[in-house]
Structure 1
Amino acid sequence: MVYYDILCYIDVPQEDGKNIRVYLNVEIQNNPYPGYSIITRGYAYVSRIVSEQWGSEYDDKNYDGMKKVYSLWIMPKAPKRKDGHMNVYETNERIICGTTVEEKEIYDKGVILAIYLNKEHDLNKKYEEHDELLTPLMVLLNNVLDYKGKQRIIEEYGLNTKKIESEVKDMCDLGESIVLEARNEGKQIERKEKNIAHVKKLMIGLQMSFKEAINLLEIPEKEVKEIEKYFQS
């Protein structure tokens, strides 16, 4: 079973009036070094999403119906040396001999985009490249800024705050309340049960993975092993 943070499809209008459907997967990965390559995991997700199209977008009578998948990986806690980096992984044709060239849309069915952000980035300083994308992402995923701080910077970049206002506020309130509650109750006897409850809230309420939730709550490694058994049962 795979739980995606976000998975949807978009029908993109073309100049000829038709639409081209693409699948979009977005993952927020707090730990950029979980013990395996994030890029390898990205390829696994792309492959999974392509195969899930069987029977709806394509089958053995029409493989050309296969739709392209974009998998976007955002890492808001990357090392400082990688802050603002963006890498794209896609399929390219290499001709061994001959001159025949295929259209890229035929064979390039998966793209992985990795965006690296550092949580200590000074939001008063613009990124050298693609700041219009990186700073709003940094603001939305920053767990230090309160709601008003996020709103102020988002408005500076011309984004429609009315459309995302409730979502941003809910994320700020939920994240802050859960983390504060967890830290205040850290010394109680029911520590294990409380940690399980807090991790569960983050996984359901903010669609976090187990690893992302324990990283946000800063649960000691020795306690992680105990509560992990609950989520494996």
Structure 2
Amino acid sequence: MDKEAFIKDEGLMCYDIYFYIDLPQVDQSTKRVYINIEIQNKASPRYHLVTRSIAYSSRMISSQWGREYDSENYDGMKKVYSFWIMPQATKSKDGCINQLKIAENHLSGNYEEKIESYDKEEQLMIYLSKGHSPNDKYESYDEILMPIGALLNNTLNYQEKNEVIKEYGLDDEEFEERMRDMCNLGEVIELEALEKGTKKGTQKERIRSIKNIMTKLKMSFKEAIAFLEIPEDEVLELEDAFNNDLKNKN
């Protein structure tokens, strides 16, 4: 789906990955769920990532208005999942998976709402450390954590990643090709780590960083800006410089 979600007076929100799945049910119907996946290199920004994940889930629900539900049928609302993966978390958080979801709490009486009426959003925060050895199994959910951790670990080379992937049965040709492309992003990730949310480097260097992100990760200018978390007061100036640079080359 479109990775840009804009609502008037609420601003633009850019997802890393956003899609939906129609799940076949026993009664031959389908159940649709919306899924957002975010890769967050900076595990501790200036705010709590949990609050950001709630904002993303809320936007995924509100953007269904007029498509899945409206004022005549709120029950058409589809459940949303927001997965947040932090591949550079501290060792103390390595392997942690936190689930946040709506739960019913009976303050008085014992009447129960049907779970499908309120079970509409869920966030999963997945913490991984790049210092985790590919030879050490995780105690829980190893079949999920190890492949993800290996793929997003920018300290492992292609061969090391490939060995992990083959062990977990993900070694088809298309997957290997995509993984090889990911391994070529080392320079981009390094630039991102230096530039994200800072004023370090000249404007020329920052423009080069943006272009690398756009090329390697196939992002638009707005997506690259959001990925780098460049402060809003710098975006307009960088956009003008970016456009002027394109004109001069043409």
Q: Same fold (TM over 0.5)?
A: yes
Q: Please identify, of 95-104 and 136-145, the stretch whose mean Cα deviation from structure 2 is larger.
A: 95-104
Q: Amino acid of the residue matched to residue 42 of structure 1? A: S
Identity of aligned residues (%): 43
- SS of the residue corresponding to residue 124 of structure 2 reads strand
Separation (CA, whole Å) in 2 of partners of 1:199 and 1:124: 35
Q: Secondary structure at the match of 1:111?
A: strand
Q: After superposition, where does 1:8-157 map in structure 2 within 5 Å?
A: 8-157=19-168
Matches within 5 A, 1:84-233: 84-173=95-184, 175-178=185-188, 191-203=202-214, 205-206=216-217, 210=225, 213=228, 230-231=237-238
1:94–1:177 distance in 2 versus 1, CA, 3 Å: closer
Using the alignment, how far apart are the partners of 1:144 and 1:214 within structure 2? 23
Retained in 1: the 8 A contact 2:162–2:171?
no
Give the Cα–Cα distance (whole angstroms) in 2 for the partners of residues 140 and 163 of structure 1.
Answer: 15
**Could you report, residue by residue, the CA deviation over 1:8-62 in whole angstroms, capped at 9, with x for unpaired residues?**
0001112222210000000000111101010000000000010000011111111
Q: For residue 8 of structure 2, what is the aligned residue in structure 1?
A: none
- In 2, distance between residues paired with 1:231 and 1:204? 17
- Aligned partners of 2:188 and 2:216 also within 8 Å: no
Q: Distance in 2 between matches of 1:143 and 1:90?
A: 31
SS of the equivalent of 1:94 reads coil
Distance 1:65 1:150, change over 3 A: same
Q: Per the alignment, in what secondary structure is the counterpart of residue 2 of structure 1?
A: strand
How many correspondences in the alignment? 217
Q: Which has the higher contact order (CA 8 A, sep 6+)?
A: 1
Q: Secondary structure at the match of 1:163?
A: helix
Query: How does the TM-score come out when normalised to structure 2?
Result: 0.78
* Alignment RMSD (CA, Å): 2.7
For structure 2, the residue ranges without an aligned partner over 5 or more in a row are: 1-11, 193-200, 241-250
What is the rounded CA distance, in whole Å, between the counterparts of 2:189 and 2:79 in structure 1? 38
TM-score, with normalisation over the residues of structure 1?
A: 0.83
CA distance in 2, matches of 1:94, 1:10: 30
Gapped runs of 5+ residues in structure 1? 183-189, 216-223
> Conserved in 1, the CA contact under 8 Å of 2:69 and 2:76?
yes
Larger displacement relative to structure 2 (133-142 or 196-205) = 196-205
